[in-house]
A and B are shown apart, each in its own frame.
Chain A
């Protein structure tokens, strides 16, 4: 700090200082500026170096399992990681009986392969997007360094020294200025054209595609497949076009899977669409990227691309499971998959909504001052028309699940809440 401050010496006391001292000072001044500019440039350049260490890409392999453990869907079900993704740090415990193979698949540490700049793409239509990204990156480096070098050169070459006067030069030069107007214009036309061409592919789904209905709510996802199977994680087949028909329940959300290189907002009471064709089986991140309130940053689930045949097996096994499940287990599963757990705890602690623990059978106070017995009918009404009997001390923010739960599923949830003594 001391050297920096002394080297950043003032430029104001030029006139009258002896030439030798002042030339030393001005040299120090120039050096300090070069240092300022170069370090800025290096800070920009460093990320581009292909051999640069990739702390963030390497580090999470060890952390990922631990982080997943915190996610409600993954509990303790860390499994040995496979393939190139990561090495699991500890031997995994035997999967609990209730965990299906596809949930274990979703609980795997996610794939973090990629370059310094971008995660490895797994969308067939994304190669154009990445090509554009790297081209513009190269062009940006070229212009940035050209401008930086010009600035540094001029500042060093034409720095003030005692007795120096600015040299006469033209105040404008039409040919030069027209040149540097036309060149950016041409570049911009090309960038627009190729960006638009690539976007057309990303935005136009093929006629034949597997369709998945997507519902986003605060703060979770519900993916409904063609045979009625619902899940909080998105499971898709590999090498098959998948089209998403999406809407939101409450506020705006946005569907973002970085490895797919695409993104689409979900708007309440309106459908929006996107499509992709995943090329590599694996487990990836799926985020919400439109700010939606308190647990916006927790609204992340898994995007699972199955190996050939895996998706069909997933649909069949999952459908069989929910039709044969005992009500209690069905309710427990729905508690997690429908996102009840975002607002209602099982341990007695209040979150956005009251905890489920030990409430069944007692009297609960209502916002209008009365109280009501917590029985099967209370729970059913609370699921289908929650605002009709909201509780004091909690915001009236629970959405209705009317039309989204079958009677059997509501009964399952009731059994589950009953079981929480």
Chain B
């Protein structure tokens, strides 16, 4: 551990240890890497959001509103590709997970700091290739790259494919790193069932990242080869099978949905417990349901192909398997709601996001049932109903959890508070704007509005207009957060070590943490037990050790449920 101390006798925090641009570029510190990820991901989020707003504004009127067909096709493709590959997949694991997960384990860093840095630079290279593809004539294939369309597109598909390939490896490296970290860096006395649920979720996610993402790499590589050498893998004119591409693609991309949602569930478990001041109800059920979601996620890709021409038998089996993922998701929602029972609920910004998440994820999950039912799916497939459904899960759930986690851990990592009222206002704006954007899409989808349409029939106009207005509210709410986070990093009130009274280990670290996170080894206490925390002042909690009080009978390090 770093031993140099500054004049005041305090060990410098991880910002002060080294300064200068090269100290950031060559850093192996998980917090700095996480912060750089956060910066990049937020920039990509604003870019993807700008594409989304342009798509929505184009759809304000039937026919041409601001852009023509070709530009529209490029916009929705870029929106999807940027949001999925650059924002949501790495969002919680690589940014929040990197910053927080090792500290939650009481560890000085991740298991492989250099691999962590490599993963970040792969993300940067992937992002650069994506930008290159945009500059050279942005792709118009849809983020799914379906063949044979992507084989004949005149736009720059190849740089984008290379970008996706590199981003995939970035994701694999992060997953591998986290798996080893969780196995090897747990402190003595922290068993599997004393892991914070956020760590459980990141662990489950890492399994999927390591096992599923290579398939994406292979698929992209095959598409690359097909494009250059015309072998006849996917191209029907050469005897290839375009539906095979869909199987390969969704074999990754369906598990990828769980790469996006499982870490969000972990964040929400932390938030609901902390702000209800109650242990998470049914800890083991939530932990097991993360793992079972991760495993089941590999078995359901065929539900993207119900109308693609796959065999009826496969269609039946995939429909049955699809329903199994509904069960662990339902368990989690019930457990979160039960956690609120008899709690002491504080509606600070992170909690507003957590409650938004519970409601939005419920809608996202319930509308998934419609799509799992074969007879109903053949009507709803490829309509706006599907668009609304996956935005409720990807954005209404994952992005909302990401924003909730940002607000929750921001004081610890940055050392300063964000403006609380503005935060609450933006949380409300996100909730309203989001519902206004996507609820109308369920209705127009059920009525038969196909997705990826530049033009539409007049009967859908009112829904598109409501949706566009909602998207603007949503966009403004998120943009304002970007501004106030930057503002707060310099001007916010200084944060205390434990502003929320949380029980996990990262709140025992100094604020901001030192280079190796802890100056004294963290003390293992009973997880999610808030009985001995006392509110010393505004946003300042301390742990009153029962050993030092009169009633010394209790054993603080005792664990179990």
Which residues does A use to contact B, with CB under 8 Å?
Answer: 4-5, 8-16, 29-30, 32-33, 36-37, 39-40, 43-44, 47, 55-57, 59-60, 63-64, 67, 112, 114, 116-119, 126, 128-129, 132-133, 136-137, 139-140, 143-144, 147-148, 150-151, 154-155, 158-160, 164-173, 176-177, 180-181, 184-185, 188-189, 191-192, 194-199, 202-203, 250-252, 254, 256, 258-259, 261-265, 267-270, 272, 285, 287-298, 300, 395, 397
Which residues does B use to contact A, with CB under 8 Å?
Answer: 62, 69-70, 73, 140, 142, 146, 148-149, 152-154, 236-237, 242-243, 276-285, 307-309, 312, 315-316, 319-320, 323-324, 326-327, 330-331, 333-335, 337-338, 340-348, 352, 355, 358-359, 362-363, 366-367, 369-370, 372-379, 381-383, 420-421, 424-425, 428, 431-432, 435-436, 439, 442-444, 446-448, 450-463, 528, 530, 535, 537-539, 561
From B152, B359, B455, contact of A148 by CB (8 A): B359
Query: A398 → chain B, closest Cβ, in Å?
Result: 12
Give Cα A194 to B447, complex, Å.
22
- Using A180-B334, A184-B330 as known contacts, say yes or no to A171 and B69 having CB atoms under 8 A apart: no
Residues on the A chain within 8 Å of B284, using CB: 172
Is the CB–CB distance between A158 and B381 below 8 Å? Answer: no
Residues on the B chain within 8 Å of A269, using CB: 236-237
From A170, A256, A265, contact of B308 by CB (8 A): A265
Query: A371 → chain B, closest Cβ, in Å?
Result: 24
Residues on the B chain within 8 Å of A285, using CB: 448, 457
Give Cα A44 to B443, complex, Å.
10
Is the CB–CB distance between A36 and B375 below 8 Å? Answer: no
Residues on the B chain within 8 Å of A143, using CB: 362, 366
- Using A177-B335, A258-B379, A267-B236 as known contacts, say yes or no to A8 and B443 having CB atoms under 8 A apart: no
From A64, A289, A395, contact of B451 by CB (8 A): A289
| Given contact pairs A144-B362, A285-B457, A297-B456, a sample of 9 additional A-B residue pairs in the complex whose CB atoms are under 8 Å apart | A12-B348, A15-B535, A119-B447, A151-B355, A160-B346, A177-B334, A194-B375, A199-B375, A290-B382
Residues on the B chain within 8 Å of A300, using CB: 457
7 closest residue pairs by CB, A with B: A258-B448, A195-B373, A198-B375, A199-B374, A60-B459, A188-B323, A297-B453
Is the CB–CB distance between B342 and A166 below 8 Å? Answer: yes
From A64, A119, A151, A198, contact of B340 by CB (8 A): A151
Is the CB–CB distance between A129 and B379 below 8 Å? Answer: yes
11 A–B pairs (Cβ distance < 8 Å), ordered by A: A4-B428, A10-B348, A57-B459, A63-B458, A159-B346, A166-B276, A252-B146, A252-B242, A261-B379, A268-B237, A289-B450
Q: Which residue of B lies closest to A131 (CB)?
A: B375
Give Cα A13 to B420, complex, Å.
11
Q: Which residue of A lies closest to B335 (CB)?
A: A177
Is the CB–CB distance between A296 and B453 below 8 Å? Answer: yes
From A140, A173, A252, contact of B369 by CB (8 A): A140
Residues on the A chain within 8 Å of B452, using CB: 291, 296-297
From B330, B355, B442, contact of A180 by CB (8 A): B330
Is the CB–CB distance between A8 and B454 below 8 Å? Answer: no
Give Cα A290 to B243, complex, Å.
13
Residues on the A chain within 8 Å of B154, using CB: 395
Is the CB–CB distance between B348 and A294 below 8 Å? Answer: no
Give Cα A81 to B284, complex, Å.
63
Give Cα A184 to B530, complex, Å.
32
Residues on the A chain within 8 Å of B242, using CB: 252, 267-268
From B340, B424, B455, contact of A158 by CB (8 A): B340
Is the CB–CB distance between B420 and A10 below 8 Å? Answer: yes
Q: Which residue of B lies closest to A247 (CB)?
A: B236
Give Cα A59 to B535, complex, Å.
58
Query: A411 → chain B, closest Cβ, in Å?
Result: 29
From A63, A148, A172, A196, contact of B281 by CB (8 A): A172
Is the CB–CB distance between B432 and A40 below 8 Å? Answer: yes
- Using A133-B376, A160-B346, A192-B320 as known contacts, say yes or no to A251 and B454 having CB atoms under 8 A apart: no
Residues on the A chain within 8 Å of B367, using CB: 140
Give Cα A402 to B537, complex, Å.
82
From A67, A112, A195, A294, contact of B375 by CB (8 A): A195
Is the CB–CB distance between A172 and B285 below 8 Å? Answer: yes
Is the CB–CB distance between A144 and B363 below 8 Å? Answer: yes
From A59, A139, A173, A291, contact of B458 by CB (8 A): A59
Query: A85 → chain B, closest Cβ, in Å?
Result: 12
Residues on the A chain within 8 Å of B335, using CB: 177
Q: Which among B142, B242, B308, B424 has the highest number of chain A CB atoms within 10 Å? A: B424
Is the CB–CB distance between A59 and B461 below 8 Å? Answer: yes
Residues on the B chain within 8 Å of A192, using CB: 319-320, 323, 372-373
From B280, B432, B442, B455, contact of A39 by CB (8 A): B432
Q: Which among B279, B382, B435 has the highest number of chain A CB atoms within 10 Å? A: B382
Give Cα A11 to B236, complex, Å.
61
Give Cα A189 to B201, complex, Å.
27
Query: B75 → chain A, closest Cβ, in Å?
Result: 13
Residues on the B chain within 8 Å of A264, using CB: 307, 309, 378
Residues on the B chain within 8 Å of A30, using CB: 347
- Using A151-B340, A169-B342 as known contacts, say yes or no to A263 and B447 having CB atoms under 8 A apart: no
Q: Which residue of A lies closest to B72 (CB)?
A: A297
Is the CB–CB distance between B345 and A289 below 8 Å? Answer: no
Residues on the A chain within 8 Å of B538, using CB: 12-16
Is the CB–CB distance between B379 and A11 below 8 Å? Answer: no
Give Cα A154 to B278, complex, Å.
13
Residues on the A chain within 8 Å of B278, using CB: 166, 169
Is the CB–CB distance between A291 and B142 below 8 Å? Answer: yes
- Using A56-B460, A132-B373, A158-B340 as known contacts, say yes or no to A261 and B378 having CB atoms under 8 A apart: yes
- Using A132-B373, A148-B359 as known contacts, say yes or no to A251 and B149 having CB atoms under 8 A apart: yes
Q: Which residue of A lies closest to B432 (CB)?
A: A39
Give Cα A268 to B345, complex, Å.
58
Q: Which residue of B lies closest to A183 (CB)?
A: B330
Residues on the B chain within 8 Å of A252, using CB: 146, 148-149, 242
Query: A160 → chain B, closest Cβ, in Å?
Result: 5
Is the CB–CB distance between A294 and B379 below 8 Å? Answer: no
Residues on the A chain within 8 Å of B279, using CB: 171
From A37, A63, A112, A202, contact of B359 by CB (8 A): A37
Is the CB–CB distance between A56 and B462 below 8 Å? Answer: yes
From A8, A13, A67, contact of B457 by CB (8 A): A67
Give Cα A287 to B335, complex, Å.
43
Is the CB–CB distance between A29 and B347 below 8 Å? Answer: yes
Give Cα A167 to B276, complex, Å.
11
Residues on the B chain within 8 Å of A10, using CB: 348, 420-421, 424
Residues on the B chain within 8 Å of A261, using CB: 375, 378-379
From B140, B309, B561, contact of A270 by CB (8 A): B309
Q: Which residue of B lies closest to A180 (CB)?
A: B334
Is the CB–CB distance between A9 and B421 below 8 Å? Answer: yes
Is the CB–CB distance between B319 and A293 below 8 Å? Answer: no
Give Cα A258 to B324, complex, Å.
29
Q: Which residue of B lies closest to A167 (CB)?
A: B342
